Amino acid sequence: MKTKLGFLILGTGLMLTMACMKYPPNSDRLLEDLAVITQYDTKADFNDYKTYSIPNSITKITDRDTTQVTNQLAQDILNQIAKNMDARGFVKAAAGEKADFGVQPIYFQNTYVYTYYYDWWGYYPYWYYYYPYYPVYYSSYTTGMINIELIDMKIVDPENQRLYIRWNAFIRGLLTGTHTTAEITGSVDQAFIQTPQLITTAQ
């Protein structure tokens, strides 16, 4: 009888936990949706720049390590960045040629773990005291954000180890596995659409 009642308490607690648990909270679910934020150096004259270089991988930074992503989706993103740069009048520099802009895409991935505590008190009818039971439940989800930077390679300050960023875009919710390739590349397009100032007529 004691064993059956113990399982009943545990089962009831589990059902209530699943009914009440949110995945993830509404305030954090926005992190899984694609959101694009761009900014640029208002003092920069983009007509002073013509060429750009772009890597063949995306740097991925997590709470554990830093790696280079070279899969097909990463290539699609890099190709879409290059396509937009070309459409704005910039030209991809030849191998070994010094470029005016260096494109630096960095992907940040974070995993959030939620811990749920519920205080349950069970009672055995043959005992004359209560005993505490504290089940713990865990839930986790992963979010990602890519930062695309245009680094000024014409002005380098090695003495102060400083690089100047003339434009960058933050795309939130990228590479989490919840969006199609079209949605992801479309968000790259949106980053350029939001900055019509990023264009050059330099020859």
With tokens 């264009």, the residue in question is 199
Note whether residue 95 is domain-resident.
yes
Rounded to the nearest angstrom, the gap between the alpha carbon of residue 156 and the centroid of all alpha carbons in its chain is: 28
**Which tokens is 143 given?**
């979010």
Residue range of the domain that includes 37 = 32-110+139-193
Q: What's 56's domain CATH number? A: 3.30.160.670
pLDDT given for residue 82 in this prediction: 98
Would you say residue 159 has pLDDT above 60? yes
Note whether residue 116 is domain-resident.
no
pLDDT given for residue 35 in this prediction: 84
Strand partners, 21: none
Radius of gyration of the chain (CA): 26
- Pick from 9-23, 54-68, 75-89, 159-173 the range whose average pLDDT is largest: 75-89
Note whether residue 121 is domain-resident.
no
* Mean pLDDT, range 76-88, rounded to an integer: 97
> Which helix (DSSP H) or strand (DSSP E) does residue 27 occupy?
helix 26-29
Note whether residue 171 is domain-resident.
yes
Note whether residue 124 is domain-resident.
no
Would you say residue 12 has pLDDT above 50? no
* Mean pLDDT, range 158-184, rounded to an integer: 81
Mean pLDDT over all residues of the chain?
76
Kindly report the pTM of this predicted structure.
Answer: 0.71
Note whether residue 123 is domain-resident.
no
Is residue 53 within 8 Å of residue 78, measured between CB atoms? no
Residues 6+ apart with CB under 8 A from 119: 132, 134
Note whether residue 26 is domain-resident.
no
Residues of the chain with pLDDT > 90: what percent? 45
Would you say residue 107 has pLDDT above 80? yes
Would you say residue 50 has pLDDT above 70? yes
Total structural domains within the chain: 1
Is residue 194 within 8 Å of residue 55, measured between CB atoms? no
Note whether residue 16 is domain-resident.
no
* Mean pLDDT, range 93-119, rounded to an integer: 79
CA 200 – CA 90 distance, rounded (Å): 7
* Mean pLDDT, range 102-115, rounded to an integer: 78
